Structure 1
Amino acid sequence: MSDTKELIGKKVKGARGEGTIIDIDVKGNIVVDYNGKKFKHPNVALEKGLIKLVDEESSVEEKTSKD
């Protein structure tokens, strides 16, 4: 559970666009704010690839664009 709490404030990208993780509820659902609209993702959304951390994607893109 402590690992998921570290995700709060991270930017994610999903089917609804880009958003920010604002909370992890009691059941472990990930609450994401997409430009003012809050949406709960199941706790396995990151593992299944339904939502992805933007930081990881941007660092990969920067490395490939520089080469």
Structure 2
Amino acid sequence: MYLEAKNHGYKIILMVSFENEETELDNVKSLISMNVDGILMDPVSHSEKGEAFDLVEKHKKPLVT
């Protein structure tokens, strides 16, 4: 996956929340502050109602869950 991303001009940034919603939100905030092109997330909560989802939507970042 890394080489495929690199071949298309992208870099992969890996962040781990250890099933902690607060850490997940901090990770999303960090990614948004880096102005990433999109976010691929395996969320702590499987509900799309959490703060992390709201933040991604607010900043209009593509999201794959």
TM-score (norm 2): 0.24
Relative to its length, the structure with more strand (as a share) is 1
> Under a length normalisation based on structure 1, what TM-score does the superposition of the two structures give?
0.24
Determine which structure has greater relative contact order: mean sequence separation of CA pairs < 8 Å that are 6+ residues apart, divided by chain length.
Answer: 2
Larger Cα-atom Rg: 1
